[in-house]
Amino acid sequence: MTSLVQTIELLKAGNVVALPTETVYGLAGNALNSAAIAKIFATKRRPQDNPLIVHVSGIDMVRNLKLHIPPLAERLAERFWAGALTMVLRREADCPLPHEVSCGLDTAAVRVPDNAIFLEVIKKTMFPLAAPSANLSGSPSPTTAQHVRDDFGEEFPVVDGGACRVGIESTVVMFDDNDAIRILRPGAVTSEMLREYGNVVTDEGGSRHSPGTRYKHYAPRAKVIAVQADAEAFTERTKHERFVIANPETSTLFMFLRQYDQLNADKIFVRLPERSGVGAALYNRIIRAAEFEVTQW
Ligand code: AMP
Ligand code: MG
């Protein structure tokens, strides 16, 4: 396991290190350094047009990055940071983030992770950290240090912070001119929670505003069968199946998908939750892992 001292050294030298957050493990690199950004994309084999989330210690760091903070964003930061809310903000002309972070867009995504180790690393390096999920692009996100090593090799530098509390990626929002909150990716900060702060619109397809939502995502090697059924019907129909997730939860969904792959599952049956509260985020991850096919029982 990589120590905090080694981590700081690696990051200062422009290398990448996997770090725990409360959502999923992140593949962190200096967000101000183009070479570090390039390493993140190469390590993950991430498509070049899928921008990165920049992790900061607080709103002051966002100000230093010369991102435009509308009053609504300020209120959301006060309420939800540190936490699973990523905000897409407009870059001002003197924004020091390299364009590779934003993949050429005129915006950048920022978040304060709710994890003491991660925040300590930002405090020590004093720079913001770009940190997409620490997995090979397309596979289920990593929620333990071992998941990171399963994708990047046993020698890969990762700080072990235990299993991630939330277990799915942050909610991503942007702001419309009319002060609406547009959810680009659902997460643990739900639309019900955001509604108190303004009109909420959801980008179902998402692709126009958030490049990342276009790609195959969260998929294990096994075929995921997303099922709409009540608990009883689901249990009855899957009673002879070995690889089943009857009541998906954010903290264990990706863990089960990865575990079943290791057991050489060919099919994984997952019951879809109600799309309210955090169920909306779970639903999103499951249908994307199932490549948008839904089976009704
Ligand atoms: P990941 O880092 O793997 O959790 O993915 C980051 C998510 O945030 C992806 O869905 C990206 O498309 C989205 N994202 C990051 N930066 C921006 C941006 N500037 N505009 C819109 N979406 C963004
Ligand atoms: Mg990801």
Strand order in the sheet with 85-90: 17-19, 26-30, 129-130, 53-55, 107-111, 85-90, 171-175, 181-185, 200-202
| CA 297 to ligand 1 centroid distance, Å | 34
Ligand 1: residues whose CB is within 6 Å? 50-53, 88, 102, 105, 107-109, 132-133, 169, 172, 184-185, 209-213
Q: Which atom of ligand 1 is nearest to the CA of 105?
A: 19
Q: How confident is the model over 14-30, as a mean pLDDT?
A: 98
Q: Which atom of ligand 1 is nearest to the CA of 24?
A: 4
Please name the residue whose Cα sits nearest to atom 14 of ligand 1: 51
Q: What is the pLDDT of residue 211?
A: 63
- The mean-pLDDT minimum among 64-68, 79-83, 200-204 falls in 200-204
d(CA 3, CA 224): 37
Please name the residue whose Cα sits nearest to atom 4 of ligand 1: 132
Quick: pLDDT tens for 253-295: 999 999 999 999 999 999 999 999 999 999 999 999 998 889 9
